[in-house]
Structure 1
Amino acid sequence: MPSSVHAPVADPRPVRRVDDVYRPEAPVDVRAALRPLGRGSGDPTFRVDGDRVWRALRTPEGVASLVVSASRASSSVAISAWGPGAEWAVHHAPEMLGRGDDWSALDVSGNAFLAAARHRSPGLRLTRTNQVLQMLVPAVLEQKVTSVEAWRAWRELVRRHGEPAPGPVPEGLVAPPDAEGWRRVPSWEWHRAGVGPQRSATVMRVCAVAPALERTLALGRGGDEVSRRLRSIPGVGVWTAAETTQRAHGDPDSPSVGDYHLPALVGWALIGRPVDDDGMLELLEPWRGQRERVMRLITGSGFAKPRFGPRMTIQDHRFH
């Protein structure tokens, strides 16, 4: 039978607010640091409003809304949060904005493209959200499908099964389900959102070990052991683990091997021709240990590979 689940209703009760100001040692570009956290322009958990960036998030203390406000490369960032998880969200916001992400050892002076990109992006930092499940579930949804398909599924599932973000937030801001909430999504809801049984089963396996996933944050900013633990879950491969550790852990050396678009983009940017995964890794090898920083310079530079050749067909299996 069709699901009777409706969009969640906001709780009208007053919510707690927590405020702080983050003053980084060097200017930080807030929008550039947080850009990887948005899953398409319609992501209900993420909103950019001028110089303000909003997030709806799950924390160990409950749901929270978070807004950070700063001009480009500002020397200070205003932080506000609402909800049961507000204090947690504000406490971890500096790491989300790049605190602890040290670019000082990255030398790209030998490559003209990267040197120019670095010069134009002095405030670029890698985010560390300290939220493994919230980063891993959308990465699973993005496996082996186009971004359009994956982001559509994410929007539909979060809007139907998430929780309205607390506080005076932009309309439609919704926190995603927690592990138990994802496990309660019925099979026909996954199908309706265009998510096949392989990916939905992987999400179920991920949610079953959610506490253990969050404990990997204690191991630092990614690395082989964190990746191994994530990949021990059937259905979570190298690409999915990398996409997660980039965001949850702030991993500086986690290029997304297996991505449909990235190898060609890296090849065109660095040597003027497309390459495959092996070629991408060969090009990035001089910066081993900081390969994700190099990837962020390339993807954030605005560079686009030449447009030619067949396009991937977008399938819609939601109602079949």
Structure 2
Amino acid sequence: MKQREWRSDRPLDLGLTLQPLRHGGGDPAWRRTADGAVWRTCRTPEGPGTLRAAARDGQVTGAAWGPGADWLLETLPALLGAEDDVSGFAPEHEAVRRAAKRHEGLRIARTFRVFESLVPAVLEQKVVSDEAWRAWRWLLRRYGEPAPGPAPEGMRVFPEPEVWRSIPSWDWHRAGAEAVRARTIVNAARYAARLEATEGSAEADRLLRALPGIGVWTSAEVRQRSHGDADAVSVGDYHLPSLVGWALTGRRADDAGMLRLLAPYRGHRHRVSRLLRLGGARPPAHGPRMSPRDYRSF
């Protein structure tokens, strides 16, 4: 085990900051234990690793195991938002001001792992969350390796790109991921090294959107996590435009309307979107909810 102490110079809500890296209940790569610590596994450039992060009064204690332990501790501050620049963020709407005050410990995390952020984003394309998270759990439990160190039972490490390329069609089907999403992931795995080498969010966006099956929404969801991009707004999200419109004007909005409302926050549009989600304002639901599909055969 290796350890590192780090103190944030701003309020930090550990769970809130790391929550976007969790993909549903029972995520094999993310766990929060009863003591408030967050456990996370990662396929680092040095190999698999497990990180345990715990915070108290702004003081963070990180412990890491496995070949990737040094890398996980070196990048711990960025993971917890040390590179999240809030300069220029000036709430103009009351809903944003309230949410920013209530959730002042929110930071935009940066993982530096593009392909690891891409796979769950592709699985979440155009399906309900439960369906995508079920596929993520199945694939990690089947193809991920056990987490190094004393990680909570059942935790797994994201497989290498070559493993994703080798998954047979019947296992994609058993996971609940149809051929289109499977092909997108398999093809992206061929470019994993180039994706990891991207230095800025704009460069990553260009490369991601040049790959078949990856559009504006998926690229934004990836860059929010891998590059800590606080401006990468998820255009094309099923719920987000209505949520933003309702929170800021009391009326639903489409993507174009959402972008107009978020224009004063350029540089922080993803941050504002997250704050509004946390703020709790939701337009009234209309019609039945879409149910998860399950067309797997065993």
TM over 0.5, yes or no? yes
Question: Match of 1:304, SS?
Answer: coil
Which residue, out of 28, 38, 58, partners 2:12?
28
Q: Displacement, 1:177?
A: 0.8
Q: Does the 8 Å contact 1:64/1:85 carry over to 2? A: yes
Q: Displacement, 1:27?
A: 2.1
| Runs (5+) with no aligned partner, structure 1 | 1-16
Tell me what 1:243 maps to.
221
Give me the TM-score of the superposition, normalised by structure 1: 0.90
Which residue, out of 240, 259, 267, partners 1:262?
240
Q: Does the 8 Å contact 1:129/1:248 carry over to 2? A: yes
Q: Displacement, 1:200?
A: 0.5
Q: Displacement, 1:227?
A: 0.9
Determine whether 1:18 maps to 2:2: yes
Aligned pairs (5 A) from 1:8-87: 17-50=1-34, 51-71=36-56, 74-87=57-70
Tell me what 2:289 maps to.
311
Question: Match of 2:15, SS?
Answer: helix
Q: Which amino acid aligns with 2:107?
A: R
Determine whether 1:276 maps to 2:254: yes
Tell me what 1:99 maps to.
82
Tell me what 1:6 maps to.
none
Off by >2 Å, runs of 4+ in structure 1: 300-310
Distance in 2, matches of 1:125 and 1:251, equals 11
Deviation per CA, 1:137-192: give whole Å up to 9, x if none.
11011111111110000000000000110101111111121101111211100011
Question: Match of 1:67, SS?
Answer: strand
In the alignment of these two chains, the number of paired residues is 297
Tell me what 1:190 maps to.
172
Q: Does the 8 Å contact 1:65/1:167 carry over to 2? A: yes
Q: Percent identity?
A: 50
Deviation per CA, 1:83-135: give whole Å up to 9, x if none.
01010111111101001102132000x31111011111111110000110110
Tell me what 2:264 maps to.
286
Tell me what 1:181 maps to.
163
Q: Displacement, 1:300?
A: 2.3
Deviation per CA, 1:223-271: give whole Å up to 9, x if none.
3x32111111111111100000000000111111111111111111111
Give me the TM-score of the superposition, normalised by structure 2: 0.97
Q: Does the 8 Å contact 2:165/2:187 carry over to 1? A: no
Q: Does the 8 Å contact 1:98/1:127 carry over to 2? A: yes
Determine whether 1:150 maps to 2:121: no
Distance in 1, matches of 2:181 and 2:268, equals 30
Q: Does the 8 Å contact 1:32/1:300 carry over to 2? A: no
Q: Does the 8 Å contact 2:246/2:281 carry over to 1? A: no
Q: Does the 8 Å contact 2:110/2:227 carry over to 1? A: yes
| Runs (5+) with no aligned partner, structure 2 | none
Distance in 1, matches of 2:62 and 2:282, equals 33
Q: CA RMSD in A?
A: 1.3
Distance in 2, matches of 1:99 and 1:65, equals 20
Which residue, out of 239, 254, 279, partners 1:301?
279
